Amino acid sequence: MGEKPKHPKNVAGYEDSFEMLAWTIGNLSYDSLAKFIEELAKDIQRQGEKDQERKRLKLSKKLLSAAKKLQEAKEEIAGAWKICEPFM
């Protein structure tokens, strides 16, 4: 058996489409969705920092920018949760 790719093209153990994956994640409660987005932002940030250390500056800049925008998205979703929480 060959090695697993460093950056796979799909989610191991998940056989549905990316559209279905997005729908599944998007239908989490907003507090859970905010946590997921935060963890994703942290991982993209980590990758950006590693690329920065390796002097891959163009790639690093893009990844760090994406991580920042994901963190902003997390804040917006957390705000949505605060609105919805009393009704849940």
CA–chain centroid gap for 67, Å, is 8
Q: What is the pLDDT of residues 46-73, one digit of tens each?
A: 999 999 999 999 999 999 999 999 999 9
- Rounded to the nearest angstrom, the gap between the alpha carbon of residue 79 and the centroid of all alpha carbons in its chain is 18
Look-up of token digits 């729908």: 23
Distance (Å, whole) CA 22 – CA 28: 10
How does pLDDT run across 2-38, given as a tens digit for each residue? 566 788 999 888 899 999 999 999 999 999 999 999 9
Q: What share of the chain is helix, strand, coil (3-state, %, to 5)?
A: 75, 0, 25
Record the pTM.
0.88
